Structures are given as structure tokens and as C-alpha cells.
Structure 1
């Protein structure tokens, strides 16, 4: 329920966290720790405790700032700051929930949903709900049900109000932001397995609750609005095919733009990125090249234009458009780290001014919808600095700090991170990140953790502050994070080289990186541990199987223990992986359960469990629908028949990873003790 008294009580605490009148100093760069700090490691909770600041969002005019903020023992509330008057008002807060996603409907009104930061997935029985409120806290209205609990409103009975079902969600796009209307999505589910059958698009009035459904061209599971905030693209998947549909403004009818294979890709495929003010559709595509680039789409020819607009040499173009109501200003993109390219000269000059004020950080700029907005929002970060949010006044040239993701982190005590590449045994270049503890003497051979990302067909880690990486480094460990073959973001050749290579060449890439660190004198060959979650957990187990000479121990959380189990499942849980992925994606990219049965057996940690003799820490979640507790337990029962150095952790309220700060702190505290005992300060090395 909505409690005005809670909002009033939270206002003072929030004011203390948003010192808008203070000019921010340039971010600190990595330096040696102050004298006397060596004996006192950075507290564990500083890395993994929940952040009190939940991000900020400029209003369409740029005059107001919406911010989510909380405090220890208090729920996250929604506040609006008048940047012209330098005043703050908490406009929404709930006794039994936290403010979740937020969007501006127009300059006077916001929409938001709810979450609960105090419970894990097992106890998340309430839907997110959907609400709208004016920026002064008036006219609060519930728009969608909270699945399991009605919202008591002062404005008439529940039955008299138009309330959409709990399966209604914010779209994630701004829309026009010039009326009381916005677009939201509504999900239809299959009765048999609970998977999404259709994603409907609704136009919703945030004052009256009135809504209408946008006509679908076919089965749809994704939508995109154009620059004017109108529905323009729909995406549908059927079996192994993805089709993009375009709502032609000339006749207001849907037509198919392109179809391609959903998982393995095919000629002519592209990914829509967004629309320009003139209606141009911008997409990412390969066009016969190894890496993705940014292109414009030719509607008349029905294909991507021949010449790319932006290419990122050696990397797939991955990013977003940055625009205001008037025009496309530039793009954000990611290679090893994030960066921006500005088409607009004024934005390019503004970026240069901000970078001079904050020379030691990557500074990502967000703009309001109005071209005349007096403020831009800056998210600043580096390898040693967690994200800091600031406002930059385009007239005065001054920066004001809004909030920090991890205010307890001292940047002077964080470890620097290096972007590098090493050669795998077959000559393929493997990108990687190497983090060395602050104050490490030159030439020191360090205990090292090889941290393997999940997925595996994702980008993995990028240069920047990471809680896991920096925590390990703060405890004296070098951290190597390889982007093994199969990782995305480095071109088609690198990606496809990882197909059907679980436990084979993908595993060799990780081992080759470990040997590279030994050869360079970075890692002590007798004190190396491999660790990771999901696929990273699988690679941890297979690393202990295949390379027992390299790894003294392993840490696996929510790790795959057998590929066949991903196909077969178990009566005790319902997988969240789609039948299409298991039918068309996994057989081609991971391995066919029939044709590749022998390979899957040879690369199964479960079937090779007796070969693991090193100390192992395992942790699994009780409501994990990707790699359920059953998978972990089955492997634990097998490995402990021959290995008594296996530690087991269960988090019954967690899913595929740890969502609660208390569980994050508990887990990494156990990891710290485990590593200390086997490769760290308490280890006895023969």
C-alpha cells in the first residue's frame, strides 16, 4: 500500500544522500592506499551490500530529476528534485515494497512499478504492479494489479477503477512523453508450460486507466517505438525463425521486413537499434563482414544499406542511440569499455568539457527529450570507481553529484585493471581482463583466481569496476577473466569458434590464459583457483577434470553439471529455457543430445566426477529454473564418493544467482575463507 507518512519520514534521509548544491570534484584515480590501511581489508559488505541509490532520470524538459533512494532498514522511495528551485519531494513509497523501474510520462507525471529487495525469488509472490503519480506526489493511481494483493486507493472502490492484470509491465522505452498516455506490454502465457505465448502492446492513459490494444501482425514477443513514440516495429519468433514487422506510416499496415534464423543467424538478418527523427531505422548487421557494424535500413530496397555508418575495429558494434526530440545526437557503444560517438557538434564539445572535469573516468552522458534542457545526466566510472551519477549544467559548466552506486568504496584502495589479449594454442587471440591488487610489488608472483563468465554466448566482463573482481583483488588475488571463444562482441569468427566446444577448445582457452599468466610471472603456479557461475561453474568443474596440474581448487555456483540434464530436466522443476532454444539453438551451438551423445558424455562433469580430487566449493539456489538444485545435488553426491574436500551451500530462497545482499555477503565470505585456506594466507603449499 501507498503510505504518505512513509514518504515524509524518508524525505530527510533522502536529502542527506542527494547534495545537489555541492560541486563534485574530479574523480579520484588509483593511488596507493593511505598509510595504516594495509592491515585492515576493505569490509566485505562494502562490495556486496545493497546500494542506497537506485539511479536517476531527467524529466522531458530537463528541469526535474526523478531518483530512487533508500537507507538501511528503509524501503526504496521515489523522489523528484526541482533542479531550478533546488528542492526535493518524496512522491511515492510503500511499506511492503520498493520502487522498481521508473519512467517519465510527461513533465508532470511519472509511472513506476515495484520490487522487493528484502526477499529472494522464492518469496516473490507479488507481481510488480504498475502505478502513476504526479511529480508533486498528487494523483497517485494504480494501473495494474500486484498479483496477490489489491491496492487500496482513496479514489473510489477497487472495482470501480480500471486495473490491468498483473502481467502488465513498463515497456522500457520513453515514448512521446508529451501527454498522459504511455505504451505498456501485456503478456499471454501458455497454459501447458507457462512460457510466454504473445507480448501485447497497450496504449494506456495514466490518469483514467483507459487502455487499448495495438493490433499485432502475428505472434509477437517484442516491440519498438519510433522517434515520435508510436509503435513501428514488432518482432516475432516461430520455431527457429525470427521475423521483423514494420508498421508502414503510408498505409498504417504491418508488413514483414526480414526473416532469419533465430539462434544461428542467416543472410540478411539484422538487429534493430532505434529510429531517427526523420524515420530512419538504424540497425546492427554483419553484411558479410566478421564484426557487426551500425547501418541504416533502406525501406524501398527492403535491405540494410551497403555502407556502414560506424564500425568498431576488432569488435562487434554494441550500443544505443542517443537522441532528443529534435534529432539523433550520437550513439553509445561498448568495446573493452563504454564510450560515445557524437554526431552533434554541441554534444561533442559538451563531452570534451565534462571529460576535462572528470579526466580519470569514463563519462556517459544522458540527455532529456527537450533540445533546450539545461541539464544533462552523467554516469561516471572507471576500473577503480563504481558508478557515480552527476548533473552537468550546460550554461554554468558546473557538476553536481546526485548519488553513488557504492559510496563505501575507497577508490584509492581498488585494483587497476588491464585489457589484454593472449594466444590460444591454435593461434586464436583471446581477449581478457587482468586485475592486479593495489600495491603489488613489481615481479611478485601472486595467488590467482581465474574468473570465468557465464552464458557462455554473451559478452562477459568489460573494463570497469566489478564487485566480485575488486573483492578478490582486495584480498590479495590477481584475477584473470578470459573472453574465451564463443564469447560475443569480438566478431563472428570468435563467436562461432565456440560452438560445440564446451569442455573442449573453450576450456583450452581458459587453461591457455592461466599458463600465459604463469609464464609472465604474474601467477604463482601452485596457488591458482578457477571459479565461475552458470557456464562459468561448468568450466570450473571441467577445469578441475582436464587440468588438475593448473588448478589447486575450484568455486562453482549455480554451475551446469551435465549438458544432457539441460535437455532432460527433472520432474521437480520447470525449466525457464524455451523449447525453441532446446530444439534449434542448443543442438547446433552446444551439442545434439543424440548425434553428439559421446562428446557430451566425455565433457560431462557429472560423468567425470571421480577425476576431481581438488578442494571444491559449490553453491546452488532453491528456486533456480535454469540450473536447479537437483543438478548440483546430483553432482555433489557423485563427487563426494571419492573427494571429501567438497563444501556445499544452499540458498533456498535464491534462483540462478544471488539477488539478496545478505546472501551475497554470506557467499563471498565463505569464498574468502575457502580461498585463504587453499591458495591464500592460510594455505600450506608443498
Structure 2
């Protein structure tokens, strides 16, 4: 899938200090005491990205004292209450940190990069000790001979393939730059030297390694009768490579290896074999046959497997209301159960209709916050637990060997849960009968019984989905805390809800995909939740395209629209036609309404904003829409954000705060007839 319209998420954040909150109002929405400010929701947290060393002796995380800069903090697990050792950077933004050895950290840092006419962001993977005294690049950096060569060499950030738990000195990384894409290196974390162990090629891609660092799977792109097909190659126990199962690209049901079992003859494969949902299956390499399912969920797509440092299977991941784990390891299952009880995590039953089959069932959904075992020691006796929810920014806990649970810090303690909206998983029926899931956030009780002003907030992608978790962009709760209802429709074309809902969006951009969003608004009106005279659409990336489409569809539902980095359908068609693979995998399914071509037909005021360094969706797309509005004399607001890219990771807290503040002003002052 193309990344041009895919909404990317920031690493989950956590904080541990108090801040100030203020009451604000939008349009005629009722004032709600202690609504968090834009800065409250967008500043860097004081604690994030927390993980445990393999030996369980240290904890690492990112902290921020001022909300504008992040630094690394390292604690001794035995003394988490003592002052940590800190490591900073004056030249790059520290974006993430993790243990790659007991005494070595893997750090991803970012800075803006301009080479010739190209303007974007550079991310680099570095290795350092626990005091930050020695830094090395995950791959040795070579001097380029030209701007183009420099761009090709630097644009890719080396990807960590394996920590190689059994190797005391090395890790495996993949070169993702254009120049060396697919090459795999064994990097010494102490000397910074790297040895290439596998060369990438035009013929094979998606190289995968087992827990010991051996390359055991790769994919060949071939053609049969003019049709592109993925051929899975696997190294057999005797060391011989051979072709196995094949997946036609046009079918968009790609079977691929997602893990290796302890038996070298058995691998784990994901794909859709039985009905509507993606499952995980055991595959016999010698006989070239699929065995019994390793994991299937009747109602939700399977996501992947979870292994410990020794390569033992400990669980399966699947898509539910949020990303969930089914533990097969009794120790982790017991840990999960006891921590849930200790932290008061509860579930509530929900009537559910499967969008793919129409099957009715009861599912259990987290009541408020849920938790995830985020990191654990190699012996599985200690772990970092993260507790988050739609109105709970998050908390980090240390689960120690003696079963003690210690709070390490809260993400945003200055944000009071009572000032935020309540979010629940809902479903409604589209006009053609398709069942559409959604996440509905309603204002705090102090906002009154409703109906309320409402924002329809479609996600990016469009091959993506939302989750019953904290919104790291701050969008949902910023407006819910100010008296708005926010609906995040999982319209057709969304992934993670089964194959039927996903493929129903084929070539329906701005048409049936847009109907699903409009039908969500009408459902809210029928439920007396939404005020029919005060509804807007706001989205980013593909969601921004949806806002453009909403502005020109004459259905009278919306009073205004906000488009962040909204793209052009024509540009998407061009990009997906650039390669043979794109022409078969995505190009046939990208079709419908090109909003930019009809900008002059806009019926409502619209606010467009875009990042100056966006390399996913060209800023020219937004400018072309504005040109159409100008030519037709239609009202609009425009904001170009300097140095901002497309994904969240390229946005500073100030950029994210600016978005919220300017959207709020637009809703209050320019959304007709009298403010939203």
C-alpha cells in the first residue's frame, strides 16, 4: 500500500509532572471547566518510550522538562525512585530509544534535511552506551559525491532486524537507503563496524531473519501470464532455498511469513484462508503444506506473533477494539491477569455485528483504560506495563520479580480525566446495508444532554483504522472537552475489520466511502446526539481528502470543513501507476471523485493547512484546490506550516499546538452561519 495517504502515529508518550489547564469555548458550545489547552495535549510528555533491559537491571525512557525537547533517561531498576542519568542532543530531535543489549541503547534521532530542491526530514539510528559517552551510527556513513547521491544515501534510516539476543556484541540491521536497499549487515554495537551478511537484490525482497539472525525467508516478484505474483522462498532445514506458496498481487491477499517456530521445518504464515478474517497458520516447509491454524479469531483480523528472546512463541496479536494480545505463555498470561486486577482494568460486554459476515456476537471491550505488556526481561520475570485509554493519556508501571507493581510515571497528569469525553465503540448501518464500525466520543457530562455540535473525523490511509486508545494527535479530546461530539467512522476501505469492509472501498473515493461518513452524521442526528445545524468534517491525509470531498458534495450536512494535507486523487493515481506492482496492487482500486478538479463547486467554508516539508502528499495539491476556490470566489482559510512534514513524527509540539488553535478559531469564526 502507498504511504502517501497513510496516517502515521507517533510513539506512545508518558509524563510525570503537573501542568496548568484552562477553560476555553468554541462558537456556541457550552463552556466546560478545566478543558485542557492545546499545549497540554501536544507538548512533549515528561516520560515516554519506556522499556526494560534484557537483564532486567535498567529502565530507559524519553523525558521532557519543558515540553519542547526530549532527552534520554536511564534508571536502575532496583532504584526507580532515584534521579536517572540523562543523555541529550543539541543538534537532533530524539524520537525513540530502546535497549539493544544490556548496556547499549538504540536511538532514533531526527532533523530537517535540505538537499538541492528537496526538503524533508532525516532520521538516523544511532547506538550509544548507558551514559551517552560514545555514539556510533548503526551503519557506517560514507561521503557522497553529489547532491543526488547524498539524498539517496541519507534518505533511508537503517532498520533494526534483530537484537540477536544470543550474540553479546552484534545486532542485525537493514540498509533502507535507495543506494543500498535490502542489504543486511551485522553491526558491532561496541566498535561501530558493520559486515554485510546478505545483499539485497532487484529479484528478491522482504528478507526475514530468525531469532538467531539467519536469513530464512525472502520474496520474489514474478509474472505469470502478465500478472504480478509474489513467490515465497524459504530456506529448508537442509539449508536449501526453494519456492513455496504464491500470491497474486491483484487479489490483495498476500500470504507471508511472520515468524519462525522452534522447529526449523515449521514457519508461521499470515493470510486469509477461511472466510473474511486474516489468520495465522503453521506451514510445513518440507511437505509444502499448510497445517492447522495456529491462531484465528472469528470476529477480528490476526496481526502477528509474539516471541521471547529465546525464540519461543509466547502469544498472538489481533485487531479488536484496539490492538490486543492472546498470551500462550502461562507466565505472561498470569502477569497480565494479575496486573489487570491490581490496576482495576475492567471490560464491559458489547453487542457486535461482524461487518464481514453479519454474525451477531457479544464481545468484551475495555471499560476506560486497558493495558499492554510493553517490554519484559529475557527471563520473563520483570516487565514494563503501559496503561492507556481514550481518556487516559497513559501510565507506566514496573512489574518486578517479586510481583510488586511500581508506578514509574504518568503521561499527562495535568490532563484531568473528568474534563475529557467518553469514547465507545459503536456501529451503524450505511445506506446500502453495510455495517460500519466507529469510535464515538461524547463530551463530559457538564456539557449537557445534547444534541451537540459534531465533528466527523475520518482517519488517514485510507487503508488504515482507528483504535480505542489515546489519540496522540490531541484532536479528539481537544474538541470533546469543549463540548463537541467526535465520530471516527471506520468507513469502507478501512483495514483491520475484515476483508469485506476493506475491499468495499475499491474505487469509491468520494462516493460510497464518503457516503459512509455522511451516514454516520445522519445516524448521530437520528440518535439526537448531533445538532443537525452544527456539523463539520475534519481530517488529515486521506481524511483531508475526505474533507475536500465533503465541501463539494451538495448534501447540506456540513457547515464547514478542515483539510490537513489533503491529497489529489489524480496524483494518487499517478503515483500508483509508477511501477508494475503499484499498477496491479493499488492503482485499479483508486478511483472516484477528484475533489481538486471540482474545487469551484465548494458549498461551504473550508480551511486547508499543509506542511512545507511534506514528502508524502505534495503541498501543491492543497494549493491547486485553493486556486479553484479563488477562481470561483469561494471562501477559504490557508495555513502553510514551516518545516512540517507529513507524519506525526515530523511535527514538533508547537506545530501540533498550532493546528488545534487554528482549527478552533476557524470553527468559531468562519464556520457558517454562526460558528460551530
TM-score, normalised on structure 1? Answer: 0.81
Relative to structure 2, which stretch is displaced further, 131-140 or 282-291? 131-140
Aligned CA distance change for structure 1 residues 116 and 72 (closer, same or farther; 3 Å): farther
Which has the larger strand fraction? 2
**2:70 partner SS:** strand
Is 1:340 aligned to 2:331, yes or no? no
Aligned CA distance change for structure 1 residues 343 and 621 (closer, same or farther; 3 Å): same
**1:189 partner SS:** coil
Q: Give runs of aligned pairs for residues 373-522 of structure 1, distance below 5 A.
A: 373-395=380-402, 397-439=403-445, 443-466=449-472, 467-522=474-529
Q: Is the 8 A contact 2:420 2:477 kept in 1?
A: yes
Structure 2: runs of 5 or more not aligned: 1-13, 18-29, 145-152, 346-368
Structure 2 residue corresponding to 1:364, chosen from 352, 364, 372: 372
| Aligned-residue offset at 1:135 | 3.1
Aligned CA distance change for structure 1 residues 622 and 125 (closer, same or farther; 3 Å): closer
- The match for 2:6 is none
Structure 1 residue corresponding to 2:235, chosen from 247, 251, 254: 247
Q: Is the 8 A contact 1:447 1:679 kept in 2?
A: no
Structure 1 residue corresponding to 2:281, chosen from 295, 298, 312: 295
Structure 2 residue corresponding to 1:56, chosen from 45, 50, 53: 50
Larger relative contact order, structure 1 or 2 (CA cutoff 8 Å, min sep 6): 2
- How far apart in 1 are the matches of 2:305 and 2:490? 22
- The match for 1:653 is 643
- The match for 1:186 is 175
| Aligned-residue offset at 1:538 | 1.6
Is 1:670 aligned to 2:655, yes or no? no
- How far apart in 2 are the matches of 1:605 and 1:166? 31
Aligned residues: 610
- The match for 1:95 is 90
- How far apart in 2 are the matches of 1:217 and 1:684? 56
Q: Is the 8 A contact 1:81 1:88 kept in 2?
A: yes
Q: Is the 8 A contact 2:221 2:229 kept in 1?
A: yes
Is 1:579 aligned to 2:579, yes or no? yes
- The match for 1:152 is none
Q: Give runs of aligned pairs for residues 61-140 of structure 1, distance below 5 A.
A: 61-72=55-66, 75-86=69-80, 89-90=84-85, 92-116=87-111, 127-135=122-130, 137=132, 140=135
- How far apart in 2 are the matches of 1:17 and 1:144? 32
| Aligned-residue offset at 1:378 | 0.5
Q: Is the 8 A contact 1:126 1:146 kept in 2?
A: no
- The match for 2:3 is none
Structure 1 residue corresponding to 2:246, chosen from 259, 263, 279: 259
- How far apart in 1 are the matches of 2:470 and 2:137? 38
Structure 2 residue corresponding to 1:611, chosen from 586, 589, 601: 601
| Aligned-residue offset at 1:109 | 2.7
Q: Is the 8 A contact 1:447 1:476 kept in 2?
A: yes
Q: Is the 8 A contact 1:432 1:481 kept in 2?
A: yes
Is 1:230 aligned to 2:214, yes or no? yes
Structure 1 vs Structure 2 CA RMSD = 3.3
**2:501 partner SS:** helix
Aligned CA distance change for structure 1 residues 174 and 627 (closer, same or farther; 3 Å): same
Structure 1: runs of 5 or more not aligned: 1-15, 20-35, 150-163, 191-196, 569-574, 592-599
| Aligned-residue offset at 1:414 | 1.4
- The match for 1:551 is 558
Aligned CA distance change for structure 1 residues 328 and 622 (closer, same or farther; 3 Å): same
| Aligned-residue offset at 1:118 | 12
- How far apart in 2 are the matches of 1:178 and 1:225? 14
- How far apart in 2 are the matches of 1:18 and 1:645? 44
Q: Is the 8 A contact 2:43 2:67 kept in 1?
A: no
- How far apart in 2 are the matches of 1:514 and 1:336? 21
- How far apart in 1 are the matches of 2:120 and 2:621? 25
- How far apart in 1 are the matches of 2:578 and 2:404? 50
Aligned CA distance change for structure 1 residues 295 and 660 (closer, same or farther; 3 Å): same
Structure 1 residue corresponding to 2:189, chosen from 206, 209, 218: 206
| Aligned-residue offset at 1:44 | 1.1
Superposed CA offset, 1:312-334 (max 9, x none): 23221124414242632222332
Aligned CA distance change for structure 1 residues 376 and 65 (closer, same or farther; 3 Å): same
Q: Is the 8 A contact 1:318 1:334 kept in 2?
A: yes
Aligned CA distance change for structure 1 residues 577 and 227 (closer, same or farther; 3 Å): farther
- The match for 1:328 is 313
**2:324 partner SS:** strand
